[in-house]
Structure 1
């Protein structure tokens, strides 16, 4: 039996109608995989002791990003100690310069995350979350290790103790310290438990140390290392040590003679901080070979003040070393602290961590034919108001004097004389100025250097020349020394006007001393906050960084 045509046609139309209403591409899916895409990029940009900079790309439809930090493992995430949520709105507010036409997936964010521990491995992962639809992405992850943290700021040493300073109220528990020993030897470590007062003040004093000895200290919060500091006690670890009170100042010559009588050739004189010593002059007797003049200002940092105009020697000696004293010559107009006019001289003299001030003429003058001195070294010192009657802070007055090393490092020199900083007629083998701040406001120095003979080598680096030089122009040298004297990595503020002879290769700033420093006329050379200066942390006396 044949089916009528109209019935077949009706059946076909019905099937076609049903087929048009169905979506043949509407496949089923597993709801477990209904999620956002992961950030396309996720990487560590910069690591600091207690923070990290992370770069990640945006995700379409994400309303926030969740960061999880796991401490002490490598991508295992078994010890999550920090979770940070960052909303997309806050990101777009922070990065307000974003191109609004770009897809979120084409935008990269770079965010800092703090509150980490130094010297610690971390795993970090991020996921994107859509809170409106209860969706999230899979994780992107990375691994990094924070470098050593450094909360120590400074230290003050004495002969048998040292005070260490760190950021006040930091989370710390104890200090581990030990004496530096030779290679292959095992140091004996000791522990100083910190009191609540120590923690609040950010300082503690280690006692019972050996003189003239190097030490290492590490500060901890439980087992987390938060800083490392090396220091050296003052004086020397042999010979005779004598602690002086203010009333002993006039008896120093007799005390030194008594040392010679007892066969003591190496002597350390210790001056107590916060005291004034009216010394005037010292004559070092024959028989003293090595003399240390040491200030004990470990606890409060206030150096002993030595009113000392002149030191002479009765015979040649190896060295005189000043450490941590305030040497005040009280502006005797014709004064040289060391005026060497015969063969009774030191092989070396050094000033370490001292204040040196109010010298009428020169700190050191070498003015005898045939003198052959190994070194004059100045480090970590504050020097002010010297050479007011001329002659230069350091003066070599004879052409045939020979000086092996003349150096000024990590120091601040203010108002360095009406003539010049250095007058070097003799032969200097090695002249070094590094990481120092040199400033004139009152003095009108004609030049920085006078060389009558070219030094063997001259290195002036990482230093700042500043101040208005008493509203007077200044030369780098008495003559044009640019053939052998340059100032790489040095800076000159705009209020210091250069005369004829230039500071070759120094960077001339558009900033004045008042623009760059907090209070330069009163000796505060900390850099002002917010001032753009490429030498920050690299140039000038590091105490101001």
Structure 2
């Protein structure tokens, strides 16, 4: 029995001894017995979550309340290792005032979009500090990109200028790097720039993409990418309309003419009229009368109607048509939406008075809603349009009474359009209850040229697609290159093209419900209808369904698949 009691007494003494060794206060953190120093934090347990200017660091550590236990964290843009002294030139040290006593901790004042290395040390007033413990064995983490730039609005840029604004104290920004392609320019901010928190870059190139990066020293603080707008067409005089304009009438047109004549000292002038973005402007002639007339382009005046970029495309809401009587070198419309939304214009151009115009051109426009038609020449007075050009346009939902382009003076050879050119454009729902797409009544032309165009649901039922009213008339050259034709409203008919020559057709296609194909020799007739060709033609989505014509290089390029 004594032997047994001695045995249990020995066991009890052993356990008591172990308990004394094991029960070290957790807040003492523990010592590395080999070197009589504090243990470091757990290397595998360090995690970092970043914003643009902060890093939240989490590590395995108990709250330090005894023995003044605390942690020091150093981050640096340079690599860190034991031989590097704490507090280098590109480093920040946190916790020297002993405020870091638990995890997690938020490190502030970091630079955005920057790479940092990090190490942590356990320290105490009463025990030797631990060794440095490195984040992911010396790997770096990266802060998120900072953005102190304000949003660039429509009024902040033109074809040659960009105004930037930012939100930051004057002492926290130094310069803006301007990047365009492979070219870079470093602009050092002035004290005025910094105080006003804005700068305008001038002398930029139209339709060019620039990236602006604002810095504080080497720290990137924000990035903005801006594409300048198109430049207004060249002219001897340019008029920028007020941003609050609501109506463009004859009085304003005549006032602009007088300014241009005074500026140039000439009666015949070329003028660019710039309409502000994000506006709908009514267009009318003499609006002092009970029955206001068409807006007249004064005789001898060549004019560019130009919509400014930098916002929503300006809308010209026609209350009446546009009268082009007289002589004009050019009348152009660029970057505009031109609409008759029931406002009463019925035509865009319905010309009965004599006129001579070398070029009428629509570029980057959307035209819709004219009840009767887009373009008409009528009456016995001489009317000559040398070139009618449509490029990069959307033309739709117009023309119930006439043809899309309509010349109808019963063979009067003094009334004609000499050349028609249509490129990179889409035409849909045109003259569905009207007549033909192009009509020239027994009057010859020099050329009709169509390239990279998409057509859908055009032409009146039982009408020719293109009609000169007699097969002895027509263009001297007729080209249809890289075009796609969707359905026509009517069923199969022999009325296709009535002209003295057939078109030259290259790389062009039509759906099986395009019933004018006999007029287009060498066109490729698909074995499916338009709704199997286009994604959603009824809602004006003419992208090709995959596996149809998506790699054909035909039709309006805006509907082609995005380049990979």
**TM-score band, normalised by shorter chain:** 0.5 to 0.7
1:489 aligns with 2:502: no
Which is strand-richer, 1 or 2? 1
Whether the 8 Å contact between 2:319 and 2:345 is mirrored in structure 1 is: no
Matched residue, 1:420 = 436
Unmatched 5+ residue regions in structure 2? 1-156, 163-176, 188-199, 214-226, 264-268, 286-293
Q: Residue 285 and residue 214 in structure 1: after superposition, are their counterparts in 2 closer, same or farther (change >3 A)?
A: same
User: How many angstroms apart in 2 are the aligned matches of 1:349 and 1:271?
Assistant: 19
User: How many angstroms apart in 1 are the aligned matches of 2:552 and 2:534?
Assistant: 13
User: Partner of 2:506: helix, strand, or coil?
Assistant: coil
Matched residue, 2:274 = 270
User: CA-to-partner distance for each residue in 1:81-132, whole Å, 9 max, x for gaps?
Assistant: xxxxxxxxxxxxxxxxxxxxxxxxxxxxxxxxxxxxxxxxxxxxxxxxxxxx
Q: Residue 537 and residue 218 in structure 1: after superposition, are their counterparts in 2 closer, same or farther (change >3 A)?
A: farther
User: How many angstroms apart in 2 are the aligned matches of 1:344 and 1:480?
Assistant: 26
Shift of 1:462: 0.7
Shift of 1:403: 2.9
Match for 2:476 among 456, 472, 486? 456
Alignment of 1:188-267 (within 5 A): 208=202, 232-236=230-234, 238-245=236-243, 247-250=245-248, 252-262=249-259, 263=261, 265-267=269-271
Structure with greater Cα Rg:
2
User: Partner of 1:536: helix, strand, or coil?
Assistant: coil
Whether the 8 Å contact between 2:315 and 2:339 is mirrored in structure 1 is: no
| RMSD of aligned Cα (Å) | 4.1
User: How many angstroms apart in 1 are the aligned matches of 2:297 and 2:405?
Assistant: 26
Shift of 1:332: 7.4
Matched residue, 1:363 = 374
Matched residue, 1:184 = none
Shift of 1:410: 0.4
Whether the 8 Å contact between 2:407 and 2:439 is mirrored in structure 1 is: yes
User: How many angstroms apart in 1 are the aligned matches of 2:367 and 2:347?
Assistant: 12
User: How many angstroms apart in 1 are the aligned matches of 2:376 and 2:281?
Assistant: 24
Alignment of 1:443-482 (within 5 A): 444=461, 446-452=463-469, 453-467=473-487, 469-473=488-492, 477-479=496-498
Q: Residue 332 and residue 399 in structure 1: after superposition, are their counterparts in 2 closer, same or farther (change >3 A)?
A: farther
Judge which range, 438-447 or 408-417, deviates more: 438-447
User: Partner of 2:519: helix, strand, or coil?
Assistant: coil
Whether the 8 Å contact between 2:492 and 2:515 is mirrored in structure 1 is: yes
User: Partner of 2:475: helix, strand, or coil?
Assistant: coil
Q: Residue 388 and residue 159 in structure 1: after superposition, are their counterparts in 2 closer, same or farther (change >3 A)?
A: farther
User: How many angstroms apart in 2 are the aligned matches of 1:391 and 1:361?
Assistant: 8
1:513 aligns with 2:513: no
1:406 aligns with 2:420: yes
Shift of 1:321: 0.8
Q: How many pairs align? A: 348
Whether the 8 Å contact between 2:159 and 2:228 is mirrored in structure 1 is: no
Whether the 8 Å contact between 1:352 and 1:378 is mirrored in structure 2 is: yes
Unmatched 5+ residue regions in structure 1? 1-157, 164-172, 179-188, 194-205, 222-228
User: How many angstroms apart in 2 are the aligned matches of 1:220 and 1:511?
Assistant: 49
Match for 1:346 among 347, 351, 357? 357
User: How many angstroms apart in 2 are the aligned matches of 1:407 and 1:207?
Assistant: 38
